[in-house]
Structure 1
Amino acid sequence: MKKTFLKIAAPVAGVLAALMLSSCDNSDNNMMEDLPLQRTITFENVVTPKDFVQSGSFQGTGASPLIMPGQTTSITFSAGKTQALMFATMYGASKDWFFASQQPGIKLFDANGNAITGDVSSSVLLWDNGTRDNISGAAESKTIAQVPNVNASQLMKLNLSYNDVTSQFTLTITNTSGGTANETPFSPGVWAVSNYNGSQLLNSAPFFTPNALSNPEITDIAQMGNIDKMKTKLNANTGIMTGLSPVLVVVYQGDKNPIYELGKVDNGLGLKDIAQFGNVTKLQNSLKALPNVKNVYIAGSAPVTPGNKVMTGFRADPGDKIAYATMFGFSNDWFYANEQSIDGNATGDLTSKTSLFDSGTGIDQYPGAGNHQALFGGTPQSENTVISKVGTLYPVPAVQNVIKVTVN
């Protein structure tokens, strides 16, 4: 009997063991499926900073590109506090003289942040490029210096006007040299506004450095009135850049992104604070109170400058979704966010799901050159339009050239 029992018990024990192992395996799998997944989401600022936010050229408005005595031309550009306008044009009746202001350019705002308008002719100076003898025209190698005993402001009149809504200036240049001892045409010229990163100009000595040897670009202007080399250099070094704000990340359920709704007016939960000032606090608190929101995370605690990144861990259950938002820092009211919904289990590069949006809460100005932008300590002028994707009015870099979003 004992032998029979053992023969029966052994197979039964094996079956029970197998059932127990099978039960344990299923239980473990179910537990793993039910556990929230730990992920890390990273936001990188990959924009390439350029020296100038805007640049361009000007010339006479008549049949000739020269600006003759008595003639006028103008340029329009954007700027915020601390920024300045640099321009250069040849004093035509010379071997190598050119008009330009002191570095970093014509001052555009006073100490109180008010735009400077009216006659700013005193800002223009006349410079000797130091590459040609003033009498013979023979080549020489001297440093750039102001031309003595010539008052440039008597030869060139400069007048500034300003549009506060757009933060745009118009500089009108008039050749007033006619009838003077220094009568001269002006050549076509170039102009630029240096980028500002929140603490300093990226180029505080545009075009040339006083008391130093000249460069090929300004030499061509000073000797021949040829702006081609300088235009090429400016084009290569001009572009919109931006910082990013700390990034709000939300884990939620359902089909509706709780941060924003395209084509609808901002709901007042706090997106405006992010889009205008990079402040995540109000939206963070508002989202936490919504029934479909499971958690809210913040990546970073300070502006994310070019070349830097921030990240945050987050947990998501199967079926959860994630969304995020960060300010395009050099704007009045723009923000990056995912346009497409993102599964909480997603990993890899999510940049393609990201778009740049206008929150519709502040009047736009040229990015990085608008005096009502938070970058310059300003407050956007209010508007109330629907949330939309940023268009092509300004030459904003493609999304993938500004921000990179990855999850691992």
Structure 2
Amino acid sequence: MQDEMEEPVLKKGSLPDVVPSKMYTVTVENVSTNYKFFEAGAVAVPDGESEAGPAFPGHSFTFSFHAGPAHKLSFATMYGLSNDGFYAPSGQGIALYDNGTPVTGNITSQIMLWDAGTQMNQMPGPDNPHNGADTDDPVQLMSEVGDGYDYGTVATNLKVMLDYNGGHMFTVTIEVLAGATTAVSPVAWVVHSMENPIFEAGMTDWDKGLEDLAETGNPGPLSHYLTWNSGYVSPVAPVLWAVHEKDEMPIFTANTPDRGEGLELLAETGNPGDLAASLISMDYNAGAYAIPDGSNAAGPLFPGDKYTFSVDAKPNQYLSIASMLGNSNDIFFAFGDGGIKLAFGNDIEDITHEVMLWDAGTEVNEYPGTKSMDEDEGGLVRLLDDGFTYPAVDKIIKVTIHKNKK
């Protein structure tokens, strides 16, 4: 008689109650270019003309630009019948807002005649040979040079008007008055927050193009330098993170209003604290990280800075993050509303392509970099689509992840 079959024996033993978690390290880096200035350009064609050239008495140059409350305007235009004289405001520039209100009107009183210090002065006027000896003197007010020549006054030669067009756009008109003693050259201009973007009084020329403008009226080299160093710069705010299950949307749901759990504060101020507390209270594995690598204090990421932090997660869980685009009204970085699956190995993997710019829909957007108001929007959380132009995500931020070796 055949023996009864024995009960099979399990070889793998009992399963643990909790699947061991894995620790992942995430790095968020601000990779944006640290531009010196905000906007810059040149205008070479006088109003009403079709070709580049100087503006003679009775003619003018006009240019427009964007600016926020922290910005100032500087420009330079050659006193055409001189060796190296130029009109410009002081190194501090012209303030464009007064307690948040755009400045408009006649700003001629803020314009001065300067000597670039690069060429010996000769008698100004139509007979000026423009062949003075090269010099290496400091930039100074023409009135302090003491060359004994008559250049007229700014008020009798120019009228400079500042207009506000709305939407953070301004227009400047530089009019050469009918009785002026000179024409003026094409204009190089820059919007800035730092002082002395074009020159510094008492210092020699920096060889960035001012000499060309002041001696020949050519704004090209100076404008190229200013434009090359101008652009949108934004800090990246502290990072909110949450580990969650598939199909969960812990931070937001696309195309629906903000839930009132802290995203508005994060997207408008950069503070992730309320949202982190809300998620933790709902039993999410969540938190926030705010200390740049190499620093002992919390703060945003400026160009070149990075956050490095770790999170625990079980196999097949998902990760969501959120971080404000600092120089905005309510724009934030995040993956899709469902996050990304944590299925990464020990090698560092660049996941920046998973990051998108989102609009929290809580505050009306303004021209990038010019934030000056807090106007409630009452909109939806959505992919950024406000009609303005922003740098690509990978030009601002880089996000990498890897699983730590056990």
Structure number with bigger Rg: 1
Amino acid at match of 1:44: E
Aligned counterpart for 2:34 among listed residues 49, 52, 56: 49
Partner residue in 2 for 1:179: 179
Amino acid at match of 1:156: L
Distance 1:152 1:393, change over 3 A: farther
Q: Does 1:145 align with 2:140?
A: yes
Partner residue in 2 for 1:62: 48
Amino acid at match of 2:88: A
Amino acid at match of 1:224: T
Superposed CA deviations along residues 333-356 of structure 1, whole A, max 9, x for unmatched, are 111111373113435222110011
Amino acid at match of 1:349: D
Distance 1:262 1:212, change over 3 A: same
Distance in 2 between the 1:289 and 1:216 partners? 57
Distance 1:227 1:329, change over 3 A: same
**1:249 Cα deviation from its structure 2 partner:** 0.2
Mapped contact 1:251–1:344 kept (Cα < 8 A) = no
Mapped contact 2:69–2:97 kept (Cα < 8 A) = yes
Partner residue in 1 for 2:94: 106
Aligned counterpart for 1:299 among listed residues 289, 292, 317: 289
Distance 1:156 1:31, change over 3 A: farther
Aligned counterpart for 1:282 among listed residues 270, 274, 277: 274
Partner residue in 2 for 1:133: 120
Q: Does 1:208 align with 2:199?
A: yes
Partner residue in 2 for 1:246: 238
Distance in 1 between the 2:105 and 2:117 partners? 33
TM-score by length of 2: 0.82
Q: Does 1:121 align with 2:108?
A: yes
Distance in 2 between the 1:155 and 1:265 partners? 57
**1:119 Cα deviation from its structure 2 partner:** 1.6
Q: Does 1:217 align with 2:213?
A: no
- Match of 2:223, SS? helix
Q: Which moved more, 1:299-308 or 1:261-270?
A: 261-270
Distance in 1 between the 2:252 and 2:285 partners? 16
- Match of 1:233, SS? helix
**1:117 Cα deviation from its structure 2 partner:** 2.2
Structure 1 gaps of 5+ residues are: 1-18, 373-379
- Match of 1:312, SS? strand
**1:247 Cα deviation from its structure 2 partner:** 0.5
Structure 2 gaps of 5+ residues are: 1-8, 123-128, 144-149, 291-297
Q: Which moved more, 1:302-311 or 1:166-175?
A: 166-175
**1:33 Cα deviation from its structure 2 partner:** 7.7
* 1:6-405 pair list within 5 angstroms: 22-23=11-12, 26-27=13-14, 30-31=15-16, 34-59=19-44, 60-63=46-49, 64-65=51-52, 66-110=54-98, 112-135=99-122, 137=130, 138-141=132-135, 142-148=137-143, 150-162=152-164, 166-176=167-177, 178-180=178-180, 182=181, 184-194=182-192, 196=193, 201=194, 204-214=195-205, 215=207, 217-290=209-282, 294-300=284-290, 301-339=298-336, 341-346=339-344, 348-372=349-373, 380-391=374-385, 393-405=387-399
Distance in 1 between the 2:385 and 2:83 partners? 46
- Match of 1:207, SS? coil
Amino acid at match of 1:319: N
Amino acid at match of 1:346: F
Superposed CA deviations along residues 23-62 of structure 1, whole A, max 9, x for unmatched, are 4xx54xx449811222222211121201111111223122
Amino acid at match of 1:122: S
Taking only the aligned residue pairs, the percentage that are identical comes to 32
Distance in 2 between the 1:273 and 1:75 partners? 37
Amino acid at match of 1:192: V
